[in-house]
Amino acid sequence: MELYSPEGLRLDGRRWNELRRFECHINTHPNSADGSSYVEQGNTKVVCLVQGPMEPKQSSQSNECTIEVNVNVTNFSTFERRKRGKSDRQVQELVTTLERTFDQSIMTHLYPRTLIKLDLTVLAQDGGLLGTLVNAMTLALIDAGIAMYDYISAVSAGLQDTNVLLDLNNLEEKDMSGLTVGVIGTSEKLALLMLENKMPVDRLESVLALAIVGSHRIRELMDQEVRRHGNDRLRKRNEM
């Protein structure tokens, strides 16, 4: 399979530095959660619901704010139906990564002795799942009004031979070494860097640079949606 043709096109017709179709909605489930969002990156589709900050069930001794993440990968999300238990190793790893990322990005000192619970449902998968999950969580947290230092926007990038490619889909992800970054706001600081296979050190920098540029673009798109939603609410309130 030719992941990147000599004419500079990828399997799905994108060029090297193009993101997949990115669509997001905020406040999708206003009645069932404190904050909610829906994100599509290509064919990867995720719903995120936030509950909290609220009182933890068992009142723990700690003064800290607890962030609890649940990831539910639906059976129909991949092209072959497959049941995954909660203890699925890959899912567990995702959960840990996400918890760590957002521990640092939420102003947890503002919410002592509380629990913030995030429920993520993966409706469809086509590569770049971690990035999409991060983006959905950022939007849902903003919707819930939980204080964060800045947006966390994430996207994957990979290395095919010597070519760097942005936002890998499932086919590309399987055949290339790739990484996912989560960028804080418009800075070049990383809240998340995930590299699960090998990548030559001398190429790492260019892959990182491309992923950061891609994340900034995603942040812009998310920001547009947040502002659109904000204006909507403002208008509705004024009408009342």
Partner 1 sequence: MIKEQKRLAEGLSVTSKVFVRSRNGSAMKIVREHYLRDDIPCYSLACSECLDIVKPDARGETPKFILSSKPTKCNSATNGHYLVVDTNIILHAIDLLEGDLGFYDVIIPQTVLEEVKNRSIPIYHRLRALVRKETKRFVVFHNEYSEDTYVSRLSNESINDRNDRAIRKTAKWYQKHLESKNIDIVFLCNDNDNRFKAKKENIDARSLIEYIDDLPNADELRDLVPADMTSFDELHSSDIMFPEYYSNARIMAGVKNGTVFQGILNISQHNILQGQVNVAQFKKPLLLMGSKNLNRAFNSDAVFVELLPKNQWKEFSYTIVEEDALGGENPDDENIVEPVISDKERQLLAQEAIKETAANRKDDSDKRLQPTARIVGIQRRSWRYYVGQIDPSSVDEAGNAVRDCFVILMDKQLPRIKIRTRKAAELVGQRIVVVVDQWTTTSRFPHGHFVRALGPIESPEAETEALLLEHDVEYRPFSKNVLDCLPKEGDDWKVPEDPNDPSMVGRVDLRDKLVCSIDPPSCVDIDDALHAKRLSNGNFEVGVHIADVTHFVKPGTALDAEGASRGTSVYLVDKRIDMLPMLLGTNLCSLKPYVDRFAFSVIWELDSGANIVDVKFMKSIIRSREAFSYERAQERIDDKSDNDELTNSMRILLDLSQKLKQQRVDNGALNLASPEVKVYVDSETSDPNEVEIKKPFATNSLVEEFMLLANISVARKIYEAFPQTAMLRRHASPPSTNFEELNDMLSVRKPGMAISLESSKALADSLDRCEDGNDPYFNTLLRIMSTRCMMAAEYFASGMYGRSEFRHYGLAVDIYTHFTSPIRRYCDVVAHRQLAAAIGYETLDLSHRDKGKMELIVKNINKRHRNAQFAGRASIEYYVGQVMRNNESEHEGYVIKCFNNGIVVLVPKFGVEGLIKLDTIGDVATAEFDEEKYELHFTDFSGTRRKVGVFDRVQVDVKSIKDEVSGKRKAQLLLK
Residues in contact with partner 1 by the rule CB under 8 A: 4-9, 12-18, 20-21, 42-43, 79-81, 124, 126, 161-165, 169, 171, 198, 200-202
Instruction: Provide the H-helix boundaries in 106-200.
Output: 129-144, 170-175
Nearer of residues 34 and 126 to partner 1, judged by Cβ: 126
**For partner 1, the closer CB: 159 or 191:** 159
Report residue 111 as tokens. Answer: 């919410």
H or E stretch covering 231: helix 201-239
- For residue 237, the tally of other CB atoms under 10 A from its CB is 8
Report, in Å, the least distance between residue 204 CB and partner 1.
Answer: 11
User: Roughly what angle, to the nearest 10 degrees, separates helices 129-144 and 89-105?
Assistant: 40
Q: Which is nearer to partner 1, 9 or 147 (by Cβ)? A: 9
Contact 35, 140 (CB under 8 A): yes
In the complex, least distance from residue 9 CB atom to partner 1, rounded to whole angstroms: 6
Nearer to partner 1, 16 or 149 (CB): 16
| Cα separation, 209 vs 145, whole angstroms | 31
Q: Considering the complex, what minimum distance in angstroms separates the CB of residue 5 from partner 1? A: 7
Q: How far apart are CA 111 and CA 155, in angstroms?
A: 29
CB nearer to partner 1: give 55 or 161: 161
Give min distance, CB of 173 to partner 1, in A.
Answer: 13
Q: Closest approach of Cβ 2 to partner 1, in Å?
A: 8
- Which residue lies nearer to partner 1 by CB, 203 or 229? 203
Of 240, 33, 14, the residue nearest 139 (C-alpha): 33
Contact predicate 26/142, CB 8 Å: yes
- As measured in angstroms, the least distance from the Cβ of 13 to partner 1 is 4
Largest interatomic CA distance in the chain: 61
